[in-house]
Structure formats: C-alpha cells, structure tokens
C-alpha cells in the first residue's frame, strides 16, 4: 500500500519586546536566574496582567505577513494545567477567539511551490525554565528541579499550520520560510538554537488518497531545521512500519532525540489533559480596528516572498533570487544601489552574493557595514563589461576598494590592473607567441581546439595578465584561419 | 466619647481638638478590650500605625492635608497585600507570607495619609458568608458574640462596628461587604466593577471581586470611596473614563426619584422582621417624595445558581498558583506533583477545597456547556433584566440579607444554606453595578437589619443620594454594647 | 437531575491530594450543590452571551516599558526551598 503523510506544524515565536507580555520585566535580561521577576510574572497573590501593546503590534505584523485575517475582536483565555515552571498554573493564551485567523505561506521544494494554509496565530506567554539536577541532597538522595522565572511571561506568538504539509522536506521548507518572515519583520531574534523560535510537528499517515486523517503524533524538541526534517521523516517511517506490521498509532507526544536520531514517547503532563479554557477575567477584549491594522500594515517591511518575485521580474533566476533574498539587509541594499547605479542585475547579484559575502565572512568585522557603495560596485562591473579589467583582476580591484584605496578606476590604475584592449598591442603579442610556437599553431589549424587555451595562456603571461583574454582569443583564431 | 466617624474626626483633627495619635490610641484601646471576644483582626501593626499617625500629626500641623482619610485609622481585609506585613487571606496555605508589594488600594490609603491599624479576618480567600471559614479562627459579631458577623469581610465589619477602626476595607464578590455590613449594623458598599483597582487583591473570582468601604455613615463611605477609586494602569479592568463625584447627591433627598422594589427579593425565606423593616423603609421613602414601584427581575431566581458556577470556576484557576513553590506552605513529596497535591490538600480549608472542586468540575470537558457556559448565559440575562429595570427606575431596593446575624456554627455543615445568605447581594456582582447596605434598625432580638440600594453602573452618586436619605429616615444610632463584649 | 461526578479525576485535575473518605464527602456535597446550580438550565430562551466589562473597557494595554525587577533575595526568602538564586522543587514525574 502507498502512504501519504500529513503534517501540521506549530511554531512558537518569542517576541523581542523590551518588556514581558503582561508586566514590565525586561526580556532577555542576562543569565542570572530570577533577576527579571515581579509580582505578575511570578504569579504572586494579587498581581494582575496588563498586555504589552508592542507585542500585539508584533502579532498583527506576523499575521499580516502570513496573509492571515485579523479578528475584529479577540480575547485571552486561561489554559489550566499544573506545571512547576508555570507560575500561576495556568497560561494566559487564546482559545476560540485568536487575534489572527486563516492565512497561508508559500513554500518551494525542488522548484515546486506549494501553498501551506495557516489555521491561526495567537498570543500567549512563555513559561519559566526548569533544570533537573541530581544532587544527593534532600530526600533520600533524590534529585531536584531548579526553577528560573526570567523567561516566564515573555511574549510568545503561536502559529498553527493546517495539516497541509506532506513531506519532511516540505516541513523543513515551511519552517524556514516562516522563520525568514519573522526575522524579516524584526519582531523576534528567531534563533532556533536559543529557543526563540520553536517548532513542533503533528505527524500522521493515511493510505494515499484517503479523505480522513490518521491518528496524529506530536513531535517536539527539534532545535535545527535539519533535526526537524529528520524527526518528521523518522516519525513518518516509524508510523508506516508500525501500521504495516499490524500495529496501531497512538495519539501521544514524542521527543526527538538528536543523538540517537529517533523519537521517544513522553509521559503525558496530566493523566488526561483537560485544559478547562475560559475567558481570562483579568483582561478585557481587544478590538483590532482598521486604523490599528492599517498602521501595522503600513510599517511592514518587504517580505521574502514578495522580494523574490521582484528579483525574478528584474531578471534574476529563481535560485539566485532566493539566495539574495535570504542575504542580510546590507547585502540586499548594496545590490539595490548597484543596480540603481546602472549595473546589470545578474552581475550585481553575483558580486554581492559571491565575492562580497565571502569578504564579509572572511573579515568578520563585527559590523554589518560594507565599505563599498553601489556606485563603486556598478563602476567595477562597468570596467569588466568594457573590457578594462579582467574578471580575476576585478577581484583584486574590489579588495583595493574595500581596503579604502579609492574608487575602482583609481584602484585599477594604481594597482596596474587595466587590461590591454588595444588591438595593435595584442596582435603584436600574439604574433610573437605564434612565432615561438609553430607546432601549436599547426595543431590548432588541424582542429585541435585544446591548444587554444595554451596559446591564450602564453599571451596572457607575456602581457602579465593584462591583455583582454576575449580579444586575445579572437586574434589567435583570426591568425589561425588566416 | 461616642463612636467617631471619619467626617467628625476629620474636623477635630483639623481644629486641633484631636490628634491622630490620640485617635489611634483610642482605637487600639478598643481593640485591646474587644479582640479577645470578637477577633476582628488577624494582625495589628502597632508600630506601623503609630508611625503613620505621628506623621499625620506633623503633616497636619504643618498644613499638609492629604484629604479625608488623613490620620484616620483604617482596617484592611487580609486579602489585600501589604508590603512587609503578613498577608494570609485567612488561609493556612499563606501562613507567614510577607508580600513584597502593596496593593493599589493600600498605596492609595498610604498616600492619603490613612493609618493602617492592621489586617482583618475573613473567610478563607473570601469564600464564605460568616467569617467562620478562617484558618485562624472565626470572628464574632459585636452585637452578640455568639453570632457570626457575616462574611467574608466579617473582620472589617466587626472592627468598624466595635470601633477598633473608623473605617474598613472589604472585598465583595457575592455580597462580602454588604452582607456583613448588614449583620453588624454598619454601612457597606460595593462600587461599580472596574472603579477600584483589584491590583494586590488576592483574587477569588476576578470578574466579580470589587473592593469597597465599610463605615459608620453613608458620608464616610463616599469619602472613602473617593480616596480609593480611580484608574489604575496596573489593572487592565480598571475604568479609564470620568469618575462621578460620589458626594454629589448626599443629603438631597428622594423627592421625585423613582425607587423600584425588587419583587423577587422578599417573601419566603425572609425573616419577618427583615421584611417588615424593609417595607416600612420603602413606605418612608414614598412619604419622603419617592415614586415607589414594584419591579420584577425574574432572572434573580437563578442568579445564585449562576454565581455558584462562575465564582468557583474562576477561583479554581485563581487559586492554582498556591502550589508550595514560590511562597507559603509546602508539604514535601517525592515529585513535584505529589508535593503540590499534598500542599494544596493540607493548605486549603474545606470551603475552599469544595469550591475549587466545584469550579474545576464546572469547567471540565463534557460539563462546560451545561454548567459554566449556561451560567454565563444566565449572567447575560441578569444584565438584561437590570437594564430593563433601570429603564423604569433610578434605584432598586431590597433587604441586604434575608436574615439577621445567625449563630456561630449554625450553617457550617450545610453549604447550600450558607450560600443562601447572599441571595440579595449576588445579582449586582453578576451585573457589575454598585450597591450599598445601610442599617435601618434592629430585629426583635436587637440584631441589625440592612437595607440595600442598587444603582446602574457608575450610578454611585444616585446610590449614595438614596442611601443617605435612607440613613436619615432610619435614624439608626444604636451601637453594640461593648461593655458586654469586653465582659 | 442527579449529577454524575468523577470526583477523583476532578481532584487530580485540581491537584488536591484528598483521601478516599474526603473524596466521598466532597462528592456528596458537590452533587447537592450542583443539583441546585443546574437550575441555570431553567433560563428561558438562549440569550447571547454578553459578559464583557460592565463599563465597556476594551484595549487596556501598557506601553512596552521596562520596570525594575523585584529583589531576588526578598522573593526567594518567601520560598519554601531555594538555592543559588533558584526556586527548588522535587523532580517532575516526566523525563
Ligand atoms: Mg502554545
Ligand atoms: Zn514581571
């Protein structure tokens, strides 16, 4: 039998606001435990929550970027469950009236673009962190758990996809696309390793073509895109194998074990989870009127998908457009200003994603600044197009410009890298080489094309690399056929 | 000296015939004489109060006037957190807990120069109608120490009735200010929901809880309200618009006002003396020029049922934070879950346990719609009933409690009977509207009877106007015999 | 209308470690109270649920401004068990 996998992804995005979701405690404040805490985020008796307006702007930005509908009225709910890292033993979250409703994100795998539906995006608060330690201490050598509430109450946006993802590769592409959007919006650090963006996958299988969904298993604990892809693939394979050998998939939560490369069943949090959601009485409804939504929409940056389209329209091929779109803002800005300076889009893209990105990595200046203007890069590309410098010499010119030696023209002259494009001078050099290598000339005339390279090389050497190789080529061919 | 009220003491503090320190001494002396019998306070902050009183004296002497509460001894119900002062909400689970912050109302009292005498007893987490559900022992009624003072703000009510404070703060979730006020012969008022900050009030049922004053007079009530209400950015449910002047209508009489008598809040289950006193007050209002009509609010019949689903549901979540981790009691266990379960079983008294179970059940899968969901529908319908009624009348009136103070222990074994104590007060919690209880006389046993005046949201000026007329018409000036109390 | 109550399940959801005797006691009381509470079903019609703030407060937000943290030692001083700046609890069952 052939199987179809059905995957939905839940993403938790920690917002990079200054203060927490419902209190004024600093977010991302140092490493010392319990140093960013107050009555509200510690759940002290009597404390009350008040929502952070910037966090709400952020979820609206995320929703709009993911083409979600925005609810005119939305409310917070309490999600009730006991857990040591949850100070109030309920999480302020959203239930049946989330801020953002249906939307979608287009993902491309192997050149095929697939639209993944988004179910909703809602606002909630993060939990504290618990660290399990064995300490041979208090109770008959029992271990214990240390609790730090610095993270408790940090704003989280949960984005839930529809079960419209059908392979591990698509799951990965969706996660990457989503991360790119969030990073572009600047609303989160969106770092997987640090947990500021976290992905859980709901995986099920069904006979290909079946209309109903199979039993889903929630897979957690993936902290890289690679592990997300592996975990989903593992889970698909595990379920197929299980069902084919007569077993039944049980609804459960499984942890991805990166080292062992497998998922493991977790014991559930409550005997049976019953979150007893009800509207949070400490908070009043949110009304997202048009003025608010439009204010957020107007402030949205250009999003990756739109940008890729624009790049493609301006002449880049799809994969270059993706690479450039995924590059940092300084690289993209340099690209834009280079094209504005008159350079060809493809050449500009090649330079900024190639040499200049490599330079950035090599130098690692700690700053985003690139000491090169679009005008300068456009000039450099012009020098190549006009045959004034060779492509290899151009790289040297670039280094000179980046080192602050001046504009490309100046650097090329100073470093003596201007190509010889004077036909007379090149003919003289070619003739000298042909005279010294009569055998090679005959071979070329007899149709042995590979000799051409050798002859061009000789001419380049004789001119210390300054001859325009295209011209040299033409002259040699003319002599051989003449 | 007679029992001093805020208005009179305020004059004396300003004309030099009384100092805040003397006033505090007097209050502390009364406490010393009566506490053994009444047990209104869980703790008295003698040194903090003395300091506040002497500061008030020097400020007033140098012309700094912080308003009507300046130098006035105030009792604070122990479910409002006080920085550096133990706050237990009468629960074992918070035994020894010293909060690191002040509730907003406490901050306002301090800024207003009030002298906080101490923290008063309550039914554990404000759940109860008799102040018997306290882990630290019950409070008794100054009018008869074999009887309860009502609850849950029974400590503040008893302190004001006995004179061990000039005014008290209480909280009212289903009648917890008004019912004890009625049972102890003082004035108790629940403001419009959202007008007094709940920040720092240990939550029982967040959508119903509201802090308000217990005082000797209607004027004192309005003066205290004025000092504690107003927008608080720390409470997201705090009202941000214009606040009316609560003093505006006091003393203006009821001539031409339309007074609605609630049909459903009389008859069966109401003590004859209560019914009789309330009816005669209604007649007095009519004589004073009010247009009196009977109004029917049929949903009141099921308000109690809705309340006993909504309040426990919210409390089941509000009290989840008491888990033995960050503060209060802990009973050890091998795992977090075991520790939490043991702590909570040991730390909560029976009434709190009952309500947590009730609320957990009402919210749980499969029962939500029939119970909690339906209760919310009833709540909506009650609001509609009120809106219809206020289309016809300016205020609604009723008894505050169907009975006078009952004997200690009389209802502790029968939760439902206890819950019926709040039948007259609960509707205004469900609607969020203001209501006040004014003492209007004594029953045949010499126990106080309260008269409730309800008004639409932000209708405090109208409510106080009618309440002050009721106060004047009743001419109630009886005081409990403290010689008897002191034994 | 007699009300069915799985009291042990409810107590576990609420993290109340009650004995069997206590559970039975509360089950009995709850069923009496719930029978009374079930009167909410006597409501005529199905009014729309409108239980929002009586004064219509909406959009009560705060600016994204940082306020100082509480003093850690003062806070941990109230904890039943604390160590090295952390609150300490016995291990969770999970993992
Ligand atoms: Mg979530
Ligand atoms: Zn905080």
From CA C33, how far away is CA C50, in angstroms rounded?
A: 25
Largest Cα separation within chain B, whole Å, is: 71
pLDDT of residue A138: 46
For the CA of A149, the nearest ligand: 2
Chain B contact for A461, CB < 8 A? no
Chains in touch with C (3+ beta-carbon pairs under 8 Å) read: A, B
Q: What is the DSSP string of A260-323?
A: TTEEEE---SSSS-----EE-TTS--EE--HHHHHHHHHTPPPPHHHHHHHHHHTT--HHHHHH
How much is the average pLDDT of B433-440?
98
Tell me how far the alpha carbon of residue A48 lies from the centroid of ligand 2, in angstroms: 10
- According to DSSP, residue A122 is labeled E
If you measure CA to CA, which chain B residue comes closest to C59?
B236
What is the rounded CA–CA span in Å between residue A341 and residue A357?
Answer: 20
Task: Evaluate whether A251 touches A217 at the Cβ level (below 8 Å).
Answer: yes
User: How many inter-chain contacts (B to C, CB under 8 Å) are there?
Assistant: 190
CA distance A74 to A82: 25
First-residue to last-residue Cα distance in chain B = 20
Catalytic residue among B91, B130, B134, B152: B152
CB A439 within 8 A of CB A433: no
Split at pLDDT 50, 70, 90, the class of A461 is: confident
Percent helix, strand and coil across chain C, each rounded to 5? Answer: 35, 5, 55
Q: Residues B459-473: what's their mean pLDDT?
A: 98
Quick one: which of B219, B122, B255, B161 has its CA closest to B436? B219
Identify the residue with better confidence: B115 or A326: B115
Is the CB of residue B138 less than 8 Å from the CB of residue B408? Answer: yes
CA A32 and chain centroid, separation: 30
Identify all chain A residues contacting B325, using CB atoms and an 8 Å cutoff: 84, 147
Round to whole Å and give the CA distance between A356 and A333. Answer: 12
B467 within 8 A of B232, measured Cβ to Cβ: no
On the CB side of B114, CA atoms within 13 Å amount to: 27
Residue A448 confidence (pLDDT): 86
Nearest chain A residue to B204 by CA distance is A46
- For the stretch B357-380, pLDDT in tens is 999 999 998 899 999 999 999 999
Q: Average of pLDDT values for C9-24?
A: 97
Confidence band for B381, pLDDT divided at 50, 70 and 90: very high
At residue A1, does pLDDT exceed 80?
Answer: no
Give yes or no: B43 in active site.
no
More confident of the two residues B420 and C94: B420
Sheet of C82-83, strands arranged across = A129-133, A144-148, C86-89, C82-83
Chain C residues with CB inside 8 Å of A54's CB? 63-64
* Cα A315 to Cα A302: distance, rounded to the nearest angstrom: 19
Task: Tell me if A19 and C65 make a contact (CB, 8 A cut-off).
Answer: yes
Q: Give the burial class of A365: count Cβ atoms within 10 A of its Cβ; 0-12 exposed, 13-18 middle, 19 or more buried.
A: exposed
Show which subunits contact A, needing at least 3 CB pairs below 8 angstroms: B, C
Q: Is residue B324's pLDDT more than 50?
A: yes
Report whether B218 contacts B471 (CB < 8 A). Answer: yes
Mean pLDDT along residues B163-189:
98
Mean pLDDT in chain B? 97
Q: Classify B423 as helix, strand or coil.
A: coil
B73-77 sheet: strands from edge to edge = B41-44, B115-120, B73-77, B167-172, B210-215, B187-190, B435-442, B448-454, B395-399, B258-262, B291-295
Chain A contacts of B87, Cβ < 8 Å? 45
Q: How far apart are CA A36 and CA A28, in angstroms?
A: 9
Comparing alpha-carbon positions, the chain A residue that sits nearest to B97 is A45
Lowest mean pLDDT among A361-365, B27-31, C61-65: A361-365
Q: Given the residues B77, B153, B156, B468, select the one marked as catalytic.
A: B77
d(CA A203, CA A273): 19
Higher pLDDT, A392 or B454: B454
- CA–CA distance, B257 with B272 (Å, rounded to integer): 27
Residue of A122, A61, A62, A118 lying closest to A91 (CA atoms)? A122
Q: What is the mean pLDDT of residues A103-118?
A: 92
Burial class (CB in 10 A: 0-12, 13-18, 19+), C84: exposed
Rounded CA-CA distance B54/B73 in Å is 12
Task: Summarize pLDDT for A22-58 with one digit per residue, the tens.
Answer: 999 999 867 799 999 999 999 999 999 999 999 999 9
Residues in chain B closer than 8 A to C24 (CB atoms): none
Question: Which segment of A180-194, A468-482, B86-100, B420-434 scores lowest on mean pLDDT?
Answer: A468-482
The pLDDT assigned to A446 comes to: 87
Selection from A373, A46, C11 nearest residue B87 by Cα: A46
Task: State the distance from the centre of ligand 2 to the C-alpha of C70, rounded, in angstroms.
Answer: 8
Interchain contact C40–A (C-beta under 8 A): no
Cα(B42)–Cα(B139) distance, integer angstroms: 10
Q: Where are the alpha helices (DSSP H) in B299-349?
A: 303-318, 336-347
Q: Is the pLDDT of residue B487 over 60?
A: no
- Coil, strand, or helix at residue A253? strand
Specify the range with the lowest mean pLDDT, choosing from A183-197, B86-100, B215-229. Answer: A183-197
For the cut 50, the answer to whether the pLDDT of residue A137 exceeds it is: no
pLDDT (tens digit per residue) in B27-71: 999 999 999 999 999 999 999 999 999 999 999 999 999 999 999
What's the whole-model pTM score?
0.90
pLDDT band at A386 (very low <50, low <70, confident <90, very high): confident
B152 catalytic, yes or no? yes
Structure tokens at B301: 């019949």
Low-confidence winner among A368-382, B282-296, B342-356, B443-457 (lowest mean pLDDT):
A368-382
Q: How far apart (Å, rounded) are the C-alpha atoms in residues B323 and A415?
A: 75
For the stretch A196-250, pLDDT in tens is: 999 999 999 999 989 999 999 999 999 899 999 999 999 999 999 999 999 999 9
Say which of B79, B207, B321 has its CB closest to residue A88.
B321
| Separation of alpha carbons B307 and A51, rounded Å | 28
Residue A29's pLDDT is what? 63
As a whole-number percent, the residues of chain A with pLDDT over 70 amount to: 96
Q: What is the pLDDT of residue A361?
A: 86
Query: Phi, psi (5° rounding) for residue A311?
Result: -60, -45
Q: Which residues contact B278 (CB under 8 A, 6 or more apart)?
A: B266, B397, B398, B399, B440, B449, B451
Output the pLDDT for position B363: 96
Q: Active-site residue B252, yes or no?
A: no
Helices (H), A317-370: 318-326, 329-340, 345-351, 357-363
Average pLDDT, chain A: 91
A53–C61: do the CB atoms touch at under 8 Å? yes
The active-site residue, picked from B90, B164, B176, B197, is B176
pLDDT above 90 coverage of chain B, percent: 95
Angle made by CA atoms A125, A126, A130, in degrees to the nearest 5: 150
Are C36 and B305 within 8 A, CB to CB? Answer: yes
Report, as an integer, the average pLDDT of A242-259: 93
Residue C66's pLDDT is: 97
Give the model confidence (pLDDT) of A289-319 as tens digits: 999 999 999 999 998 888 999 999 999 998 8
For the sheet with A90-93, list strands across it.
A90-93, A77-80, A278-279
CB contacts of B79 in chain A (<8 Å) are 46
Q: Which of A119-123, A246-250, B188-192, B208-212 has the lowest mean pLDDT?
A: A246-250
What is the model's pLDDT at position C95? Answer: 39
Task: Compute CA A72 distance to the chain's CA centroid, rounded to the nearest angstrom.
Answer: 31
Q: Give the pLDDT band (50/70/90) at residue B331.
A: very high
What CA dihedral angle connects B94, B99, B103 and B108, to 10 degrees? 130
pLDDT of residue A270: 43
Closest alpha carbon to B426 in B220, B121, B272, B207: B207
Q: For residue B327, report the distance from its CA to the centre of ligand 2, in Å.
A: 16
Burial class (CB in 10 A: 0-12, 13-18, 19+), B456: buried
Instruction: Give the model's pLDDT for residue A139.
Output: 45
Mutation target to probe the A interface, by most A beta carbons within 10 A, among C13, C51, C81 is: C13
């Amino acid at each position: 039998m052939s199987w179809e996998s059905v995957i939905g992804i839940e993403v938790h995005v920690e917002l990079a606001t200054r203060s927490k979701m419902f209190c004024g405690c600093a977010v991302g404040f140092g490493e010392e435990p319990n140093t960013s805490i107050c009555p509200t985020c510690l759940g002290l008796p009597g404390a009350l929550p008040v929502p952070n307006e910037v966090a709400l702007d952020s979820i609206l930005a995320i929703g709009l970027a993911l083409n979600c509908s925005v609810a005119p009225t939305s409310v917070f709910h309490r999600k009730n469950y006991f857990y040591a890292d949850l100070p109030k033993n309920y999480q302020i979250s959203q239930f049946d009236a989330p801020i953002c409703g249906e939307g979608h994100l287009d993902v491309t795998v192997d050149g095929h673009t697939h639209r993944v539906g988004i179910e909703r995006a809602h606002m909630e608060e993060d939990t504290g962190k618990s660290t399990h330690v064995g300490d041979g201490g208090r109770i008959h050598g029992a271990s214990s758990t240390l609790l730090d509430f610095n993270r408790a109450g940090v704003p989280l946006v949960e984005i839930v996809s529809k079960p419209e993802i059908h392979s591990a590769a698509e799951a990965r592409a969706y996660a990457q696309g989503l991360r790119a959007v969030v990073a572009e919006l600047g609303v989160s650090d969106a770092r997987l390793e640090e947990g500021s963006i976290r992905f859980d996958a709901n995986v099920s299988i069904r006979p290909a073509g079946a209309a109903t969904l199979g039993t889903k298993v929630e897979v957690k604990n993936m902290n890289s895109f690679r592990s997300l892809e592996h975990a989903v693939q593992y889970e698909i394979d595990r379920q197929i194998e299980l069902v084919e050998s007569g077993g039944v998939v049980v609804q459960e939560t499984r942890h991805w074990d990166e080292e062992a490369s497998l998922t493991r069943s977790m014991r559930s949090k409550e005997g049976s989870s019953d979150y007893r959601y009800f509207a949070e009485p400490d908070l009043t409804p949110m009304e997202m009127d048009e003025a608010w939504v439009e204010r957020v929409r107007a402030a949205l940056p250009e999003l990756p998908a739109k940008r890729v389209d624009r790049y493609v329209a301006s002449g880049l091929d799809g994969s270059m457009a993706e690479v450039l779109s995924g590059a940092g803002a300084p690289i993209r800005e340099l690209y834009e200003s280079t094209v504005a300076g008159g350079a060809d889009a493809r050449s500009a893209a090649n330079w900024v994603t190639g040499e200049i990105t490599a330079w950035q990595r090599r130098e690692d200046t700690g700053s985003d600044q690139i000491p090169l203007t679009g005008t300068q890069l456009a000039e450099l590309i012009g020098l190549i197009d006009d045959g004034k410098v060779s492509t290899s010499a151009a790289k040297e010119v670039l280094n000179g410009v980046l080192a602050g030696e001046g504009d490309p023209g100046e650097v090329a002259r100073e470093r003596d890298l201007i190509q010889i494009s004077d036909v007379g001078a090149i003919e003289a050099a070619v003739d000298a080489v042909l005279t010294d290598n009569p055998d090679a000339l005959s071979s070329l005339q007899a149709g042995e094309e590979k000799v051409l390279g050798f002859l061009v090389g000789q001419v380049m050497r004789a001119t210390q690399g300054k001859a325009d190789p295209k011209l040299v080529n033409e002259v040699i061919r003319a002599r051989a056929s003449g | 000296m007679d029992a001093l009220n805020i208005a009179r003491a305020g004059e004396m503090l300003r004309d030099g015939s009384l100092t805040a320190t003397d006033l505090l001494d007097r209050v502390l002396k009364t406490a010393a004489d009566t506490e053994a019998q009444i047990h209104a306070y869980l703790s008295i902050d003698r040194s903090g109060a003395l300091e506040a009183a002497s500061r008030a004296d020097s400020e007033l002497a140098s012309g700094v006037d912080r308003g009507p509460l300046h130098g006035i001894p105030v009792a604070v119900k122990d479910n409002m957190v006080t920085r550096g002062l133990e706050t237990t909400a009468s629960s074992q689970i918070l035994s020894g807990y010293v909060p690191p912050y002040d509730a907003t109302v406490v901050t306002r009292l301090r800024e207003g120069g009030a002298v906080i005498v101490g923290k008063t007893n309550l039914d554990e987490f404000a759940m109860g109608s008799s102040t018997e559900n306290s882990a630290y022992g019950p409070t008794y009624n100054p009018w008869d120490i074999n009887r309860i003072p009502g609850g849950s703000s029974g400590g503040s009510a008893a302190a004001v009735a006995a004179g061990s404070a000039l005014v008290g703060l209480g909280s009212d979730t289903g009648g917890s200010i008004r019912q004890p006020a009625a049972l102890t012969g003082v004035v108790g008022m629940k403001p419009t929901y959202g007008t007094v900050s709940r920040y720092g009030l240990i939550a029982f049922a967040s959508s119903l809880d509201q802090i308000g004053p217990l005082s000797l007079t209607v004027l004192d009530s309005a003066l205290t309200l004025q000092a504690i209400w107003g927008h608080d950015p720390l409470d997201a449910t705090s009202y941000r618009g214009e606040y009316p002047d609560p003093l505006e209508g006091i003393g203006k009489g009821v001539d031409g006002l339309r007074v609605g008598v609630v049909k459903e809040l009389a008859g069966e289950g109401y003590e004859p003396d209560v019914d009789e006193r309330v009816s005669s007050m209604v007649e007095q209002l009519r004589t004073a020029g009010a247009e009196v009509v009977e109004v029917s609010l049929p949903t009141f019949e099921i308000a109690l049922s809705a309340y006993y689903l909504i309040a426990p549901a919210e409390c089941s979540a509000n009290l989840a934070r008491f888990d033995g981790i960050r503060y209060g009691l802990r009973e050890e266990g091998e795992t977090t879950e075991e520790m939490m379960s043991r702590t909570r079983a040991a730390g909560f008294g029976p009434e709190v346990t009952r309500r947590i179970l009730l609320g957990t059940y009402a919210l749980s899968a499969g029962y939500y719609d029939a119970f909690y969901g339906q209760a919310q529908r009833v709540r909506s319908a009650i609001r509609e009933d009120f809106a219809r009624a206020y289309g016809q009348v300016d205020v609604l009136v009723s008894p505050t409690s169907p009975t006078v103070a009952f004997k200690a222990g009389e209802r502790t074994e029968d939760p439902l009977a206890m819950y019926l104590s709040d039948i007259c007060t609960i509707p205004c919690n469900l609607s969020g509207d203001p209501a006040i209880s004014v003492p209007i006389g004594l029953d045949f046993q010499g126990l106080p009877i309260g008269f409730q005046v309800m008004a639409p949201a932000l209708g405090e000026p109208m409510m106080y106007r009618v309440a002050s007329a009721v106060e004047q018409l009743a001419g109630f000036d009886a005081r409990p015999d403290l010689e008897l109390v002191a034994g | 209308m007699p009300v069915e109550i799985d009291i042990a399940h409810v107590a576990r959801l609420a993290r109340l470690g009650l004995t069997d005797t206590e559970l039975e006691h509360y089950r009995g009381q709850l069923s009496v109270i719930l029978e009374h509470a079930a009167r909410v079903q006597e409501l005529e019609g199905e009014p729309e649920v409108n239980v929002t703030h009586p004064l219509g407060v909406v959009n009560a937000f705060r600016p994204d401004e940082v306020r100082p943290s509480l003093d850690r030692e003062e806070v941990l001083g109230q904890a039943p068990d604390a160590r090295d700046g952390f609150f300490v609890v016995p291990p969770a069952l999970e993992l």
